[in-house]
Structure 1
Amino acid sequence: MLTGQSFEHRKDWIRDRLHLLGACFAVAIHAYAVMSNHLHVVLQIDAAVSAAWNDEEVASRWIRLFPPREDTDEARDVKRQVLLADPARLALVRDRLGDLSWFMRCLAEPIARRANREDQCAGRFWEGRFRCQVLCDERALLAAMAYVDLNPIRAGVVERLDVPTHTSANERIDLARSGLSPGVVLYPVAGVLPVSLSLSTADYLQILDWTGRALAPGKRGRIDGQAPAILSVVDKDAQRWTMRVRGYSGGWARAVGCAQDLVDLAGRIGQRWLQGVRLAWMLS
């Protein structure tokens, strides 16, 4: 540490904020990794869900995000009643609770203000606006989750998945050890969308452990022999899977999926092609 001061506690701020946003926005947070100088989040957002919420639910969720300055039950109730009496404002808030840009804004701004108060300074905390990729299918989603969860291992911060880190993988491991994690399907680590993936938590962690070793074959202790059998459910073979995960470090760009999905998406947004189509053809 150049300054002699640790800022690790700020990772807790970000993790806790992600869980609060997951409880308020129409999202499912599938994976996250809070690193020393950047953040990865894999999420699904559905504006149709927030559009179906009743007025009281919308107001309550918004006030959880933006409580009154004097945060008492009485003050919250007053703010709720004011919002409920303003249909135009309520409609705007409803739209925001299903909007990715507002999700990221509600993540970044409070963290920046809190860090600035702690440092007694003003100015920008985050480098700039977020970048995002469209994940076209479940396999792309699982590969993105693996890439994100393995960030600390690839960066050399830890060597094993079960070492405490600010990642969704570590959160899943803790829940599994406590017996609180459902074993049948893989649910998001946070969020309100009623979604799940086709793997179990144990299957995902097994694939993740093997992938972490396979992506760094030159480092002692990271090489596993055979790929887990469950991996054949996700991809055609282990080599394709590792190429798919590794592609998030530069092979994929605006979207991830099969070649036809990328071709179709390029057409919808008026482009001739998207970066990653060649990789997608290789993996088909």
Structure 2
Amino acid sequence: MTRARKELVSIEATPYYHCICRCVRRAFLCGEDFYSGKNYEHRRGWLLERLRALQDVFAVDVCAYAVMSNHYHLVLRLDSDRAASWSEDEVMERWERLFSLPLLVARYRAGQTRTEAEREGAQAQIALWRERLQDLSWFMRSLNEHLARRANAEDGCKGRFWEGRYKSQALLDDAAVLTCMSYVDLNPVRAGMADTPAGSDFTSIQQRIREGASVPGATGEESGERTEPRLTTLGHEGDDGHPNAVVFTTDDYLELVDWTGRAIREDKRGAIPDHIPPILDRLQIDPAHFLRHVRRGGRSYHVAALGRVERMRKAAMDRGRHFIKGIGVSRRIFVGSPECP
């Protein structure tokens, strides 16, 4: 049974979420449609442009993305602390970039409210907007609705563009975030659309490589004029210092993705490369089950959450449930408590 989104998203449990959305009937409405012969590749760029625009409005960070021909994946981080730090004027300015301000709020901003009731009403509306600007559902709505309208306008038609509401999966700890980001970035390699992570167009791994990091033997192509989202800094590198930053660094991540990509390309499904990235050992992730999980694709991601078993059980208890789908998958991949970084 479909559950209300508020039962699936809890900022108290985790700020990290994996989101998936598919085009209607899984048609190739963002790539090459082999049935009609039409090419919609340019629409992938629309998604990246919109992500970048929404980052300037919402308190939501992009950790990883992959834009495929008929669906896309996002790994997002909700930043409630940033939203709480905004002034009322900043909240109004951000909201106005997407929606028109009601007359009461416009008068409040101009200092033209006459009664205390009017001021309280405007302040309550601004407080509601502050909540929405850090809300996963409102972020995804602002992304998907814009793309659907733009695509329908181009096609001269009406109706659904997306198959249904987006799917979301809570990522409860660093090991889960690392596993999910790897899965997302390796979508084109797993689908046979690219030979290397660096050659995977419209993915965050290609963007990270191009922005300065590198993996052995990999080279990235320039994006030209394409607008891309800002990616979160991994670990506490540079000046990020985010309280919810993951413990693994960009170098850790790129080494893992390169290792995993090589394993996926090998024909021996049970084979594990000799060199195992240290990050797997540090986070106590089982290499064999990690590879199996990434190879299997979407079948492993029909679960509500991913993380260590103790975190999964706590998340279930916090939601008043005895069980949360995904514990079996998590038990196989995450073998113990991680060491301190």
| The two structures share one fold, judged by TM-score above 0.5 | yes
Mapping of 1:130-169 within 5 angstroms?
130-169=166-205
- CA gap of 1:269–1:200, structure 2 versus 1, over 3 A, is closer
The SS at the match of 1:39 is: strand
- CA gap of 1:277–1:223, structure 2 versus 1, over 3 A, is closer
Q: Is the 8 A contact 1:30 1:187 kept in 2?
A: no
Q: Is the 8 A contact 1:259 1:281 kept in 2?
A: yes
Give aligned pairs, total. 269
- CA offsets 1:12-53 (integer angstroms, 9 cap, x no match): 000111122222211121111111111111111133431331
The counterpart of 1:56, out of the listed 62, 65, 89, is: 89
Mapping of 1:162-241 within 5 angstroms?
162-176=198-212, 185-186=234-235, 195-218=244-267, 224-241=273-290
Q: Is the 8 A contact 1:185 1:197 kept in 2?
A: yes
The question of 1:249 aligning with 2:298 is answered: yes
Mapping of 1:75-114 within 5 angstroms?
81=106, 84=109, 86-114=122-150
Moved more, 204-213 or 6-15: 204-213
Q: Is the 8 A contact 2:195 2:265 kept in 1?
A: no
Note the aligned Cα RMSD (angstroms): 3.3
Identity of aligned residues (%): 40
Alpha-carbon distance in 1 for matches of 2:236, 2:185: 15
Alpha-carbon distance in 1 for matches of 2:272, 2:316: 38
Kindly state the Cα deviation for residue 149 of structure 1 after the two structures are TM-superposed. 0.5
The SS at the match of 1:215 is: helix
- CA gap of 1:46–1:185, structure 2 versus 1, over 3 A, is closer
- Where structure 2 has 5 or more consecutive residues not aligned to the other structure, the ranges are 1-33, 111-121, 214-219, 221-229, 336-341
Question: As a proportion of its length, which structure holds more helix?
Answer: 1
Moved more, 199-208 or 228-237: 228-237
Q: Is the 8 A contact 1:26 1:97 kept in 2?
A: yes
The question of 1:270 aligning with 2:320 is answered: yes
Q: Is the 8 A contact 1:63 1:80 kept in 2?
A: no
Alpha-carbon distance in 2 for matches of 1:121, 1:83: 40
Paired amino acid for 1:32: Y
The question of 1:28 aligning with 2:77 is answered: no
Paired amino acid for 1:272: H
Alpha-carbon distance in 1 for matches of 2:201, 2:268: 20
- CA offsets 1:225-279 (integer angstroms, 9 cap, x no match): 4223444223345224324545763345101111111122222223322222223
- CA offsets 1:137-182 (integer angstroms, 9 cap, x no match): 011001110000011111111111111511111111111169xx99
- CA gap of 1:102–1:113, structure 2 versus 1, over 3 A, is same
The SS at the match of 1:33 is: strand
Mapping of 1:121-132 within 5 angstroms?
121-132=157-168
- Where structure 1 has 5 or more consecutive residues not aligned to the other structure, the ranges are 69-75
Q: Is the 8 A contact 1:83 1:89 kept in 2?
A: no
Alpha-carbon distance in 2 for matches of 1:118, 1:204: 38
Kindly state the Cα deviation for residue 202 of structure 1 after the two structures are TM-superposed. 2.5
Kindly state the Cα deviation for residue 212 of structure 1 after the two structures are TM-superposed. 1.7
